[in-house]
Structure 1
Amino acid sequence: MDELLDFFNHDMVVKAAKLLLWILFIIISIRLLRKLLKRRIADTSIRYKAQKGVEVVGYVLIGLLILVSFTLENVQDYTIIIGLFTAGITFTLQELILSIAGSFYIFFVRVYEPGDRIEINGIKGDVIDIDSIYTTIMEMGEWVSSDNYSGRIVKISNAFVFKGPIKNYSMDFPFVWDELNVLITYGSDVELGKKIVLDEATELLSDYTEDSMAKWSAMVERYYIENATIAPTVAINLTDNWIALNLRYISDYKLRRGTKHQLFERIEQAVLLTEGKVTLASNTLQLLKIPEVDVHLK
């Protein structure tokens, strides 16, 4: 019993116990503050940022507390122990440490944030959460065509921000360029077809074009990038079967599928009103010669 009491009265044991109590107090405080903010803040974006801010501050306090506890007294006695301990932890938990470093990198550099649409490590989707280790993404694509949710929630280690490219669809310039091909037959009025495609695109996308021009001007001023044509453009491509009118236009990254559907619908209706001057094309098959066949009946 005396040896047990001496053990608990040892300075190191008392210091470790105090450290654990403080860490436990900080963790409980973080959870209570997160719940309080969840009840008090109605705006989803502000609530999320406030909760993440409390979490980051709590983890920083825990780190500082551990650092001060080990280095405030008897620095020389702890030098070798801390060195060996740090080396072992770094080797064993290198992926975890890299993930935590990635979370700070994402937070301070603003590589992406909740609500952004990104593609990382071959996975595309909308960011719905970023914590100290993982980025949570609502997946898009896979067995679902176009930019539709697959329904799967994917967690990606934050360490991937250091390991490969990150494609952000919404940071700085929340628009993307898209294309569609309108196929018309040879013999159609090509100039009229071009006018129909360009007029319908210009009318439908006027709001996108106006908004994107202002944002693109800011991009040109901020980055080393050449100016680009924001307004819809049409180019002609001749093939063996038809004339392809290639329309290039700007679209909101979240409305790409719906925008393309509206364009095709409006262009089809306008082509039908030309009464045959412009005809939509389809695959054709031409038989050059039918081989001779001898049939003998018995």
Structure 2
Amino acid sequence: MLEELNNWITAHPISTNILKYLVWILLVFILITWLRKALKKNLPNNTVKYKTQKAVEIIGYILVVLVTITYFTGSIKDFGLAVGLLTAGITITLQEIILSIAGSFYIFFVKVYKPGDRIEINGIKGDVIDIDSIYTTMMEIGEWISSDNYSGRIVKLSNAFVFKGPVYNYSQDFPFVWDEFNLPIRYGSDIELAKSIVISIAQERLSEYVQASLADWKEVVSKYYIEDAQVDPTLAITLTDNWIQLNLRYIVDYKKRRFTKNILHQEIGKKIEETKGKVLLASATFEIVKIPTVDWNNVDKQEDSLK
């Protein structure tokens, strides 16, 4: 039996080499699968567990490439030549996949974003829930849903898009955003009272975000070439044709924009009602400057002349 097997191997060297190569690749995949399961089972922290799973996946790809090159070239010295020939042959047909794989390495090493970040890329906004060697998976935000709420759609986006346009990250380095609240006040209202209501509620409700953002903002200023900015709530007044507009600008956690604006609406509206008419909210109005008069005698004369 062994003699027949040896004779077959001697008679079919190419087939034998291919089978040996496939066995090696199979062993690599078995090893990687076993290692991923063992790490997933024994690591308690979800963040560490996720990162190790991705690291093992990348190591598996590298091992497959090394086994392929060393097996068919016979030496690791031919690595550069083999990679060059391989790349020249498949660049045109697999350029999008190659760019996606390069994008995954770029995302990982440059830390463009990570799972849990809220980003906007290629016109799609959402929370990153997974990053693999080809795709970034996001839980979509917006579209037919108002404000920063989930639409319920899971979006898979090619990693190649990190090279094709801007990537907006809402949570990296500085997990806060500036938002605005506009309040129209009727002319004749007590403006100073209205200002004090808005400022007092803003200071009370937004102080938590202000304090939490101070340290992060200092790090951003020291890390990037950027001017220092005011994180405390600020109020500006604009006179319009119909009302006096109070514009409140404030900082808020990027995940709590809608909730915070709802609280401001409720509490400011309640305080304005308690002023008993001293402060009134405005709405669009139209003023009739002059109503033209009609001379009915001339109308009657014109009607008689026509008869």
Same fold? TM cut 0.5: yes
Tell me how large the CA RMSD over aligned residues is.
2.5
Q: CA deviation at 1:288?
A: 3.0
Aligned to 1:210: 211
| Partner deviation per Cα, 1:39-79 (whole Å, 9 max, x = no partner) | 33333222211211211111121122223224334978x96
Please list the CA deviations of residues 209-259 of structure 1 after superposition, one character each: whole Å capped at 9, or x if unmatched. 011011000111111111000000000011111111000000000011001
Separation of aligned partners in 2, 1:278 and 1:69: 83
For the 8 Å contact 2:119–2:127, the answer to whether it is kept is yes
Of 287-296 and 86-95, deviating more is 287-296
Give the match's secondary structure for 2:231.
coil
Superposed counterparts of 1:42-61, under 5 Å: 42-61=44-63
What secondary structure sits across from 1:191 in the alignment?
helix
Q: How does 1:133-172 map to 2 (within 5 A)?
A: 133-172=134-173
Q: How many residues align?
A: 292
Q: CA deviation at 1:34?
A: 2.6
Q: In 1, Cα distance between the equivalents of 2:74 and 2:202?
A: 69
- Shift in Å at residue 25 of structure 1? 1.8
Shift of the 286–74 alpha-carbon distance from structure 1 to 2, 3 Å rule, reads closer
Partner of 1:266 in structure 2? Answer: 267
CA displacement at 1:117 relative to structure 2: 0.2
Structure 2 partner of 1:98: 99
| Bigger CA radius of gyration | 2
The AA in structure 2 aligned to 1:99 is S
**Aligned-residue offset at 1:128:** 0.2
Once structures 1 and 2 are overlaid, which stretch shifts more, 17-26 or 124-133?
Answer: 17-26
TM-score of the two chains, using structure 1 as the length reference: 0.90
Identity in percent? 59
CA distance in 2, matches of 1:241, 1:169: 36
Name the residue aligned to 1:5. 8
Give the gaps of 5 or more residues in structure 2.
301-307
Q: Is the 8 A contact 2:9 2:16 kept in 1?
A: no
Gaps of 5+ in 1: none
Q: What is residue 235 of structure 2 aligned with on the other side?
A: 234
In 2: Cα distance, 1:59 partner to 1:43 partner: 25
Q: Is the 8 A contact 1:112 1:171 kept in 2?
A: yes
Contact in 2 for aligned 1:189/1:277 (Cα 8 Å): yes
TM-score normalised per structure 2:
0.87
